[in-house]
Amino acid sequence: MSLPRVLRLERDLLARLEKALPLEAPGGVETAALAFGRVAEAHGRRVFVVDGVAEVPTGAYETQEVARLRPNDRQLLALSSRLRGRGTFALLAHTHPLGPDRHSYADDDYEQKVATIFAGAANGAGLVSLLRHPTGWTAREVVDGRFEPIDVVWVVGRPLRRLEVAASEPDPSHAANRDIWARQTLALGPRAPVDLRHLRVGLVGAGGLGLPLADGLIRHGAGSVVNVDFDTVSRSNLSRLPPALESDVGVLKVEVVERLRGVHRSVELVTVARRVEDDEAQRALETCDVLIAATDNHTSRLVAWKVARRARSLFLSAGTDPRLGPKGIVHRVSAYVADLLPTDGCPGCNAFLDAEQMRRESLPRETLENEVRDGYIPGVEQPAMLSWNLIAVGETLSRFLELVVGFGPAPERGQVRRFELLAAPDARYFAHAVRPSAPGCACSFDVGTDLRDVMVKPGSAMPSEP
- Are the CB atoms for 202 and 226 separated by under 8 Å? yes
Confidence (pLDDT) at 452: 46
* pLDDT exceeds cutoff 70 at 339: yes
- Lowest average pLDDT, out of 63-77, 283-297, 379-393, goes to 63-77
**Is the Cβ–Cβ distance between 254 and 272 less than 8 Å?**
yes
Q: What is the mean pLDDT of residues 325-345?
A: 88
Query: Tell me: the pLDDT tens digits for 149-178?
Result: 999 999 999 999 999 886 545 555 556 677
Alpha carbon distance 451, 339 (integer Å): 28
pLDDT in tens, 81-127: 777 666 789 999 999 998 888 999 989 999 998 898 888 877 778 99
Which has the higher per-residue pLDDT, 68 or 289? 289
455 falls in which pLDDT band (50, 70, 90)?
A: very low
Domain ranges for the chain, please list them.
Answer: 5-156, 179-444
Give the pLDDT of residue 326. 75
For the whole prediction, is pTM greater than 0.75?
yes
Q: What is the pLDDT of residue 331?
A: 83
Length of the chain: 466
Average pLDDT, the chain: 85
Say if residue 425's pLDDT is above 90: no
- Summarize pLDDT for 190-248 with one digit per residue, the tens: 888 889 999 999 999 999 999 999 999 999 999 999 999 999 999 999 999 988 999 99
Say if residue 465's pLDDT is above 60: no
- Mean pLDDT of the region 292-297: 91
- Kindly report which listed range (288-302, 382-396, 399-413, 442-456) carries the lowest average pLDDT score: 442-456
How many C-beta atoms lie closer than 10 Å to residue 222's C-beta? 26
Mean pLDDT of the 398-414 span: 86
Question: What would the DSSP string read from start to end of 296-330?
Answer: S-HHHHHHHHHHHHHTT-EEEEEEE--EE-TTSSE
Q: What is the mean pLDDT of residues 429-440?
A: 88
The yes-or-no verdict on residue 323 having pLDDT over 90 is: no
Give dist(CA 286, CA 313) in Å, integer.
8
5-156, CATH topology level: Cytidine Deaminase; domain 2 (3.40.140)
pLDDT in tens, 258-276: 999 988 878 899 999 999 9
One-letter amino acid identity for 352? F
Phi, psi at residue 69, to the nearest 5°?
Answer: -150, 135
pLDDT at 454: 45
Q: Which residues contact 353 (CB under 8 A, 6 or more apart)?
A: 298, 301, 302, 347
Strand partners for 8: 49, 154
Higher pLDDT pick, 174 / 145 = 145
Q: Are the C-beta atoms of 49 and 37 separated by less than 8 Å? A: yes
- Residue 315 contacts residue 400 (beta carbons within 8 Å): no
Chain centre distance of CA 322: 29
Q: Is the pLDDT of residue 392 over 60?
A: yes
Q: Which is higher by pLDDT, 379 or 383?
A: 383
213 vs 446, which has greater pLDDT? 213
Confidence of residue 299 (pLDDT cuts 50, 70, 90): confident
Could you tell me the end-to-end alpha-carbon distance of the chain, in angstroms, rounded to an integer? 40
329 has a pLDDT exceeding 50: yes
pLDDT-above-90 percentage for the chain: 50
Fold of 179-444: Rossmann fold (3.40.50)
pLDDT tens across 19-48, in order?
A: 999 998 777 888 888 898 999 999 999 999
| Model confidence pLDDT, tens digit, residues 91-104 | 999 999 988 889 99
**Is 5-156's fold the same as 179-444's?**
no
- Give the pLDDT score at 450: 45
pLDDT in tens, 342-371: 999 999 899 887 766 666 666 566 665 555
